[in-house]
Amino acid sequence: METGVQASIYGGIQRFDKRDHLARIVAARNASVAKERTSEKESSDDATLQPCPVCGKTADVVRGMGGWRTECLVGGCRHRTEGFAERADAIEAWNAAGSNEEAKPPTEKQAASRTVAAKVCGLANRIPRSVPRKEAFSRAWAIVRNGGLELPVTGVSFGSRQEAIGKLARYDPKDIIALLVPEAGCVHDTEAIAVKVMVNGGKGIYTLGYIPRTETKIARAFLGAVPELRLIDGETKGARIRLAA
């Protein structure tokens, strides 16, 4: 009887020891993982990532299949370093490249791509926030790609404006100055943008017409710019403006 009880007690102790042993293994593993993550965080906090040595823009450190890599976040630049086992090594290599005075200059294609990206972002950010951001960037890209925005001047069919276009057509186009002026007090459209013209050396400013109502939100990104005016002095007179991207 005593032998059976002793065996049962001994077996229980062995099972307890096994569970305790497994618990210690799991605890040790978790501690190791936590230490590794803490070490990575400390490396991240201690190391200051310098801007891209090629374009001077923001960079980031990423862990992939081939190890740690550092890359420029500008799509047209794509400058990167990769293949590092440690995050801190990737940062150090990147910063060393940035301190090298003989850093490789951007190619003509990269420079052009960054110029286009900067124009698109700048234009999209000037478009009012009432326009969805996706639509704003899509329109900005199309405008930059086309070299500008060309629009007809509406409201020129009135008799006095038809006569005014005929008179303006007699001047040298270089002497005609066009302006975009918001007219919040317009009865028909509180967001209206008038196209006003004046002749260099002349007196007064004349309202030639308006930006099409469907384009007023986009045209607001060009307020302050001087549009190029093209008069159509035909049987039916008209006018168009072009805004440089």
Query: What is the three-state SS of 30-46?
Result: HHHHHHHHHHHHHHHHH
Which structure tokens are listed for 224? Answer: 């302050």
> Can you tell me the distance from the alpha carbon of 61 to that of 70, in angstroms, rounded to the nearest whole number?
4
- Give pLDDT tens digits along the chain (245 positions): 455 545 554 555 455 555 666 666 666 666 665 555 555 544 444 467 888 877 777 888 888 776 788 888 876 677 788 777 788 888 888 887 766 544 566 678 777 777 888 889 889 999 999 999 999 999 999 999 999 999 999 999 988 999 999 999 999 999 999 999 999 887 788 899 999 999 987 778 999 999 999 999 999 999 999 999 999 988 889 999 999 98
55, 31 contact by CB (below 8 A):
no
* Predicted local confidence at residue 47, as pLDDT: 60
pLDDT value at residue 11: 53
Asked whether the beta carbons of 127 and 149 are under 8 A apart, the reply is no
Q: How many residues does the chain have?
A: 245
3-state secondary structure of 240: strand
* Distance (Å, whole) CA 221 – CA 131: 11
Asked whether the beta carbons of 68 and 85 are under 8 A apart, the reply is: yes
Distance CA 212, CA 194 (A): 10
- pLDDT value at position 87? 85
Report the C-alpha dihedral over residues 131, 137, 142, 144, rounded to 10 degrees: 110
Cα–Cα dist 178/225, whole Å: 10
> If DSSP codes are grouped into helix, strand and coil, which group holds residue 64?
strand
